[in-house]
Amino acid sequence: MSPAPALLVIAHGSRDPRHAATVHALTRRVRALRPGLRVETAFLDFNAPRVEQVLSGLHADGVRDVVALPLLLTRAFHAKADIPAVLSEAQARLPGQTVRVADVLGPSPLLTAALERRLAEAGITPADRAATGVVLASAGSSDPEAIAVIAEIAREWRHTGWCAVRPAFASASLPRTEDAVRALRAEGVRRVAVAPYVIAPGRLPDRIAAGAAEAGADVLAGVLGAAPELARLLLARYDGAAAAGRRPHALSA
């Protein structure tokens, strides 16, 4: 039996050191869940190692089968353009290595479960749910598909007992976090919680937190981070790509 493909988790990267630390904490949790699976981490920008460096290292170690997993919550520019371009360029220099690209992480019930975990950790109890409005605050995108996905997640989440769920965006799109909080207040919502739909700390999550504070949100949950649900989701996406074999968007040298 041929060995399982290696898992290459590709994060965006940030000048904020908390970003890389959180990504590495998440990949450590993935390794703990799947002993024996080779799990590597790479970054598109700001942090090392870069994607091409990790793929070269895998190639030098004789690893010829890789699943690249974008650490992204929606299919926006990085998933549609940046990551395919970086992988194609790397593959051109690495004969014999095949890289299959896993799906982005969202949407998924596991992400909703991770959001619920962070809200509970911030103090929201089941008894609070019916009187609490939630702002689902994402990083934001200019991609209409990504914006529509966030809006749909908010609509679906509303049906699980919250009195309201509104999407908000830290950049590129409207409304901003503070505007969504104020809109819920204007509708008479007694308690407003902000749930950042982001994986790691950084500039945009800080903007979400500032908006929550400015508008007087009652609760600010933590970022998704190394939540166990997120680690399980990474493995689910990996398994899907590994089982699919040759995919329409596989990149082969």
Structure-token pair, residue 122: 């911030």
Q: How many domains does the chain have?
A: 2
pLDDT tens per residue across all 253 residues of the chain: 678 999 999 999 999 999 999 999 999 999 999 999 999 999 999 999 999 999 999 999 999 999 999 999 999 877 888 899 999 998 889 999 999 999 999 999 999 999 999 999 999 999 999 999 999 999 999 999 999 999 999 999 999 999 999 999 999 999 999 999 999 999 999 999 999 999 999 999 999 999 999 999 999 999 999 999 999 999 999 999 999 864 434 443 3
| Residues 211 and 161 reside in one and the same domain | yes
Strand order in the sheet with 219-220: 164-169, 132-138, 191-197, 219-220
| Residues 231 and 214 reside in one and the same domain | no
| Residues 141 and 65 reside in one and the same domain | no
| Residues 138 and 177 reside in one and the same domain | yes
Its pTM stands at: 0.94
Residue with token string 């995919």: 247
CATH code of the domain in which 149 resides: 3.40.50.1400
In-domain check, residue 118: no
In-domain check, residue 1: no
90 lies in which domain range?
Answer: 6-105+227-252
| Residues 99 and 31 reside in one and the same domain | yes
| Residues 130 and 216 reside in one and the same domain | yes
In-domain check, residue 189: yes
